[in-house]
Structure 1
Amino acid sequence: MTATRIAVHGDSPYEVVIGPGVLDELPGLLGARVRTVAVVHNAGLPEIAGPVCKALEQAGYTVHALPVPDGEAAKEVGVLAGLWSDFARLGITRSDAVVGVGGGATTDLAGFAAASWLRGVKAVLVPTTLLGMVDAAVGGKTGINIPEGKNLVGAFHPPAGVLCELTTLTTMPREDYVSGLAEVIKAGFIADPKILELVEDDPQGAASPAGRHTRELVERAVRVKAEVVSADLRESGLREILNYGHTLAHAIEKAEEYRFRHGHAVAIGMVYAAELGRLTGRLPAEVVDRHRAVLTSVGLPTGYPAAAWPVLREGMRVDKKARGATLRFVVLDGLADPGRLEGPADDLLAAAYQAIAR
């Protein structure tokens, strides 16, 4: 089956290549100038990292596999510092490269390691999860977490390319796959309602990599993100719409010490943002109801404990979208019509939370 190529424009343009068998393109993305490749991979994915390393070795590169912890545990300062030490030990130069293989946390880490080593070396990302393919690996945002918040330390560092090998999705645990589906659904609400129709047409199939719409859902979600980041690489305006649902989501993740699935938090955060839109008279109630229906149909949560509100409200104070003391939310003025809500009153924030509390 022919690979799908989606261009991401900007100062450093690249392609997201989607399909089965796309790993064959990895050597071409690295080029002849690169000699040594550090393959930063999820420690739990030897069956995927192994073939990547073998393909690079057969292409003539010197390859060093560098395993990192699974999930958000990879995005810690200590893990990043360990990679820097590894790069120094291996003699990684500006003409060498980093390949990130794994979920969104691994590609975030690998990208930031590449961005910060010698002020920037080439990176190619091979996301192996749905979340990584449709969100984390596309757009050039890299980062790590600190105790005070998620992704507060990072850099913009566009990769030389992103390879979405769809066959890797079949290795994912169901709950992790469904978690990634939240970002796909988000793309439907902010830009491409056809995504919502595909999910509604076959919710059970949408929740599985074997579903009949899987490839189209991935491609549509990637196109949404590619179009947005092409127009706004550094999040100066338009790109903020990709953060729909993320203000509360990041507060939930922080409160849960990053043991809560990102997509589950985003699902809850989208319903919260929808309620903010409803309470301010910007979003019809039927669109809020559609949020709950679509998310629930694939097994994603739409509420969070009522008693958690004080902790979550405090957690939202430290948010990348805030400007000074002003808290900013992405909200919808209608389906596929995102806008911004700046400086909402505390009683409004609390009322919207009460609408999702359980």
Structure 2
Amino acid sequence: MKQLRPAAMHVVAGFGDVWSALEHAYGDRRWLIVVDGNVLRHHQGMLRGLGRKRRKALVELRAGEAVKRLGAVELLAAAALDAGLDRGGLVVAVGGGTLCDLTGFFASMWMRGVEWVPVATTTLSIADSAIGGKTAVNWKGSKNLLGHFHDPVAVYGVEGALDTLPTRHYRAGLAEVVKSALIADRRLFERLEASADELRARSAADLLDLLAAAAAIKCAVVVQDPREQGIRAHLNFGHTVGHALESLHRPRLYHGEAVAAGMIAASSLSERLVGAPQGTTDRVAGLLERLGLLRVLSPVSFSTLWGVMTSDKKVAHGKLRVVLTPEIGTATVTALESRPALRQAVQEMQRRCAVGARENSR
């Protein structure tokens, strides 16, 4: 298959708009539609009706981090074989980040790659994870260890699906908007600070504008560096520690919550190592607390956390690479030389998460 330029996020009102566009472009092909069971429950008529149409097969999966496994890839392969999905077929993922990760990975493997379209239904997937063609499953306890770059032919976000998104999932997705602001757009960070209380309460009039701003940052970065040879690594801000926390606290800690904690550690490390202004960590932690993203972390020794981090794909030439922010709105990748500095940053993260979680519970 030819390499495609990364597709931009198109946010539409409802699923009908997505199907109209896809029918127009790909209506003569066989489709395999992979849908999150939670989304299916709330939008039964539209989705099941589509699955009953000629040349279209629907597979329901229970989404969540546990679905990102090789067994689920085999399940989709069996469904694709039953549906007669050939190399001209189309795979459509309807759900959040984990389901899109899995489905895109399957699409990259099936017959050495078939075209696919993510239809994002969560704040997380609209703002970040559905964009850019990174696909993966977890393996041997490590997150995204088996993966592939496989660009979708189009990317959609469904505004109507956000209305039925559970509040904790809704808030968790906002972490990736904060991340985008911290690495690339100081003004967006200030907008988030101004709207934090409304965002937490799900009453912000500019929610879609903020999600779109984050999505635009992601797309612009991916266009410059589609295969993560340079600037795309900035999108991993907060994810070095965050992925380790997620692996150790799964399923109690959501991805966005883990990244939020990781961003506190990364901000603290930025003050210690790359000259970020004093008080940066206060601002970052304060915003994350107001958005309801901080959770009490179960006690984990630093050596355990370090072991998980150093088994991650962010290690290069034997050194752990971390993304830091010299100031809000800029980012740099640093090979970590100071393990004690990271230990101190993790301790600060744990303290701030505990305090923030207590404040949120009042």
- 1:40 equivalent in structure 2: 34
- Cα shift at 1:55: 4.9
Instruction: After TM superposition, list the pairs within 5 Å mapping 1:143-292 onto structure 2.
Output: 143-292=136-285
The code of the aligned residue for 1:223 comes to A
**Shift of residue 56, structure 1, vs aligned partner:** 7.2
Cα shift readout 1:66-88 (whole Å, capped 9, x = no counterpart): 01122112111111111112111
Q: Is the 8 A contact 1:109 1:144 kept in 2?
A: yes
Q: Is the 8 A contact 1:331 1:341 kept in 2?
A: yes
Q: Where do 1:11-30 residues align within 5 Å?
A: 11-21=4-14, 23-29=16-22
| Structure-2 change in CA distance of 1:302 and 1:113 (3 Å) | same
Deviations 1:90-149 (A, max 9, x none): 211011111100111011111111111001111111111101111110111111111331
The corresponding residue for 2:318 is 325
Deviations 1:278-302 (A, max 9, x none): 1114211222211011111111117
Shift of 1:12: 3.5
Mapped partners of 1:73, 1:353: distance in 2: 26
User: Which residue type is aligned with residue 323 of structure 1?
Assistant: A
Change (3 A) 1:12 1:285: same
Report which stretch shifted further, 341-350 or 180-189.
341-350
Distance 2:136 2:272 in 1: 34
Give RMSD over aligned pairs: 2.0
- Report the AA paired with residue 197 of structure 1: E
Query: Is the 1:23–1:52 contact (alpha carbons within 8 Å) kept by the matching residues of 2?
Result: no
Return the offset for 1:34.
4.1
Q: Which runs of 5+ in 2 are unaligned?
A: 352-362
- In the alignment, the residues of structure 1 paired with residue 20 and residue 205 of structure 2 have an alpha-carbon distance, to the nearest angstrom, of 31
Alpha-carbon contact 1:272-1:352 (below 8 Å) kept: yes
TM-score computed with the length of structure 1 as normaliser: 0.91
Task: Assess, with a 3 A threshold, how the Cα gap between structure 1 residues 26 and 208 changes in structure 2: closer, same or farther.
Answer: farther
More displaced 10-residue stretch of structure 1: 92-101 or 142-151: 142-151
C-alpha deviations, 1:163-210, integer Å up to 9, x for none?
111111111111111100000111111112232222222222112444
Cα distance in 2 for partners of 1:48, 1:139 equals 26
Match of 1:51 in 2: 46
**Kept in 1: contact 2:7–2:132 (CA 8 A):** no
Runs (4 or more) in structure 1 with deviation over 6 Å come to none
Q: Look up the SS of the partner of 2:35 in the other structure.
A: strand
Larger displacement relative to structure 2 (348-357 or 106-115)? 348-357
Q: Deviations over 1:258-288 (max 9, x none)?
A: 4420000000000101111111142112222
Q: Report the TM-score when normalising by structure 2.
A: 0.90
Determine helix, strand or coil for the equivalent of 1:334. Answer: coil
Q: In percent, how many aligned pairs have the same letter?
A: 32
Q: 1:182 to 1:275 in 2, by over 3 A?
A: same
Deviation (angstroms), 1:348: 1.7
Q: Report the residue type matching 1:88 in the other structure.
A: L
Supply the AA of the counterpart residue of 1:251. A
Aligned residues: 347
For residue 133 of structure 1, what is the aligned residue in structure 2? 126
Aligned to 2:360: none
Q: CA offset at residue 350 of structure 1?
A: 1.1
